[in-house]
Amino acid sequence: MAEATFQALLDDETFDLKIDGDTLHMGEVALPVSFEATGPTAYSLILDGQSVPVVVTPAGPPKTYDVTAAGHTWTVRVKDERDLLLERFGLDDALGAGEITIHAPMPGLVLEVRVAVGDTVTVDEGLLVLEAMKMENELKAPAEGQVKAVHVAAGDAVGKNELLIEFEA
């Protein structure tokens, strides 16, 4: 398995998980893991040397699944790296709102603005490119919507949390 970081929300508990090759990290605990598809929704989970058949099916809201193993079914909501990043920058709460604002996650230089007022954007569409610490960072739309205002232009220096773009979802 490739490296991935995510959270699993099960009932009222949140589990921070990281998969690094064939090791699952849950906090300070590291366990050998293998997860292979055996059918459209069936998997073979080998966790710490124990084999467990698992069935995973979508359960309504996006990234929510019913997971059945060892005779029990749990509903699990998964937050992947993108979800966690949006949450860290405060964009997760904006996704359900009508107006969404994009702020600079760090100080930098606007290299390119890819949208204009009136443009319709889709989820993950590139909005602008911000250079920070000698790296180019593409800021993407967290939801679909129409651009209401663009507060920067290519060549502008921006500070952390500066308002860059507003759009209506």
Same-domain check for residues 16 and 75 = yes
Same-domain check for residues 64 and 107 = no
Each residue's pLDDT, cut to its tens digit, for the chain (169 residues) gives 567 788 888 877 888 888 888 888 888 888 888 888 888 888 888 877 788 899 988 887 778 888 898 888 888 888 877 777 666 655 554 455 567 888 888 899 999 999 999 999 988 899 999 998 888 988 888 788 899 999 999 999 999 888 999 988 7
CATH number (domain holding residue 15):
3.30.700.30
Domain assignment present for 84: no
Same-domain check for residues 47 and 101 = no
The per-residue pLDDT for 29 is: 87
Given 79, 111, 137, which residue is the final one in a domain? 79
Domain assignment present for 85: no
DSSP state, 21? T
- Dmax over CA atoms of the chain, in Å, equals 59
Given 79, 98, 130, which residue is the final one in a domain? 79
Cα–Cα dist 110/154, whole Å: 5
- The domain total for the chain is 2
Cα–Cα dist 103/97, whole Å: 16
Cα–Cα dist 125/145, whole Å: 11
Domain assignment present for 163: yes
pTM across the whole model: 0.50
Same-domain check for residues 67 and 25 = yes
Same-domain check for residues 103 and 56 = no
Domain assignment present for 130: yes
Given 25, 46, 79, which residue is the final one in a domain? 79
Domain assignment present for 53: yes
**Enclosing domain of residue 136:** 90-168
Rounded to the nearest 10°, the torsion over CA 111, 166, 169, 59 is 60
Same-domain check for residues 121 and 74 = no
CATH number (domain holding residue 154):
2.40.50.100
Same-domain check for residues 101 and 56 = no
